[in-house]
Amino acid sequence: MTDSATKPASTRTRAERLEARITTAQKALIEHAAALQGRSVTDFVLASVQEAASRAIDEHQRLTLSVQDGRAFVEALVSLRKPVAPRED
Q: Give 3-34 pLDDT, tens digit per residue.
A: 555 555 556 788 999 999 999 999 999 999 99
pLDDT at 36: 98
Residue by residue, DSSP assigns 41-82 as HHHHHHHHHHHHHHHHHHHHHHHHHHHHHHHHHHHHHHTPPP
Q: What is the pTM of this model?
A: 0.60
Q: Give 36-79 pLDDT, tens digit per residue.
A: 999 999 999 999 999 999 999 999 988 887 888 888 888 888 88
pLDDT at 4: 52
